[in-house]
Amino acid sequence: MSLLGGWGRFPRVDCKITTARSEADVRAAITETPLIARGNGRAYGDAALNTGATLVMTGMDRMLSFDDDTGVLIAEAGVLLGDIIHTFLPRGWFPMVTPGTKYVSLGGAIAADIHGKNHHIDGSFRACVDWIDLMGPDGTTRRLTTEDEMFQWSVGGMGLTGVILRAQIRLRAVETAWIVQETRALTSVADTIAAFEDTEDVPYSVAWIDCSDGPHHGHSLLLLGRHATQDDLPPHRAPLEVRHKTKIPVPFPAPPLIFRGLFLRALNGIYWRRGARKAGESLVDWDSYFYPLDALRGWNILYGRGGFVQFQCALPNDTAAAGLKELMDTIAEAQTGSVLSVLKRFGPQSGHVSFPMPGYTLALDFPANDRTLALMDKLDRITLDHGGRFYLAKDARMPEAVAKSDERWDAFAAMRAKHGLAERFRSVQSERLGL
């Protein structure tokens, strides 16, 4: 048994960890004991933890075939998005949808049906998945396409329908490894929402927003982006050069004061003013635009031994402005939270249990302690009052009643019971949420 956690290091539980290197390994594990599949452990909470058996899939990391004309890739579930980028971006291909870190596995991206900065245009990860090979409770592998019911439950189903062994996905053709970024500095939530709506045809958009109680409360930096063409580059720049960047290690946790009132206000203010000075258009490499946090190695120790929790909710379009205001006022009042609160626009909903709904999503980190956990209960209530929902890939503490207020999870639990999935595939999260 080893002590294991998610990216937030809260909770950490004793797990029996096995690494699968082949389909036969997965079958042997499934038939032996109930388990949960784990990718690269980037879900924040307890979605990829099972105290009985946690089956690590990053040992199945082979790319099986690639078509240079169409960008169609078949790969095992343990392949990381970062490896896909380093292999295929030099050949002019980039993932269709990517989260804020490249260190996620293909299986984890599918199981959480991750979203990127382009959800309003391209949808979630499912948009690029043609099929998955899923091993079910009896050790049989089925190839599921978008036509299959079980595909719709599995993409976004958090590993609770079986173990994804491999998948076929489509990459996006790009001319360069660069992004034309436009930064807009805004001073209120209403202006930020208006700017998102104004720029609906821009492929990528994300805003950093100040949730502290300082003078910059509600100020935001909206980062818009599109893939640069060769014409956008200065003549000396290699269009498809893809470098491995040196990472800055985070040697020790930040002092807890950083996450409290005065410091939080100051840090947010500095960040906004610095961003505002750089407002306008610039050329940014793919890594800096999509994965700024990946530049810091092991930043998840910043919050100290107790770890941290992320709150991420989605609010529908018609209540988003009021809901965001109430959430942000409540966070500001508590004088705790992260320097980076992230706001994104969502497009249409798809799949049976995927997180996105048309509207906005707000995400921010809190140090894990009694005070912030109590605050998050309040944020749950505000989200529900505004017709919102929560992202299981970030959750570590939600009560069952809150998760089940999204009635899709009741239907999911019933489907799991009917197909004998609940006996074989379980996570600490699924038990907590009664899935």
Residue ranges that bind ligand FAD, judged by CB under 6 A? 7, 36-43, 47-48, 57, 77, 99-101, 104-105, 107-109, 111-112, 114-115, 158-159, 163-164, 293, 393, 427
Cis bond before residue 358 (omega within 30° of 0): no
| Closer Cβ to ligand FAD, 57 or 222, answer by number | 57
C-beta of 203 vs 239, nearer to ligand FAD: 203
Least distance CB 166 / ligand FAD (angstroms) = 9
- Please state, in angstroms and rounded to a whole number, the distance separating the CA atoms of residues 303 and 339: 12
CB of 111 to ligand FAD, least distance (A): 3
Count other C-beta atoms under 10 Å from residue 225's C-beta.
22
Provide, rounded to whole angstroms, the least separation between the CB of residue 377 and ligand FAD.
22
Q: Which is nearer to ligand FAD, 262 or 295 (CB)?
A: 295
Q: Provide the minimum distance between the beta carbon of 415 and ligand FAD in the complex, in angstroms, as a whole number.
A: 16
The residue (of 124 and 369) whose beta carbon lies closer to ligand FAD is 124
Distance in Å, CB of 324 to ligand FAD, minimum: 18
- Residues β-bridged to residue 93: 173
- The β-bridge partners of 5 are 12
Q: Based on CB atoms, which residue is closest to ligand FAD, 36 or 171?
A: 36
Minimum gap (Å) between residue 266 Cβ and ligand FAD: 23
Distance of CA 121 to the CA centre of its chain: 17
Q: Is 370 exposed, middle or buried (0-12, 13-18, 19+ CB in 10 A)?
A: exposed
Amino acid letter, 140: T
CB of 428 to ligand FAD, least distance (A): 10
- HSE of 274 in the Cβ direction (CA atoms, 13 Å)? 7
Q: Which is nearer to ligand FAD, 99 or 275 (CB)?
A: 99
CB 69 within 8 Å of CB 33: no
Nearest residue (CB) to ligand FAD, 7 versus 286: 7
Which residues make beta-bridge pairs with 184? 222
- Residue placing its CB nearer to ligand FAD in the complex, 107 or 337: 107
Structure tokens at 221: 């930096």
Distance CA 254, CA 304 (A): 7
Smaller CB separation from ligand FAD, 51 or 187: 51
- For ligand FAD, the closer CB: 91 or 297: 297
Please give the distance of CA 253 from its chain centroid, rounded to a whole number: 23
CB of 29 to ligand FAD, least distance (A): 12
Task: Quote the least distance from Cβ 205 to ligand FAD, whole Å.
Answer: 12
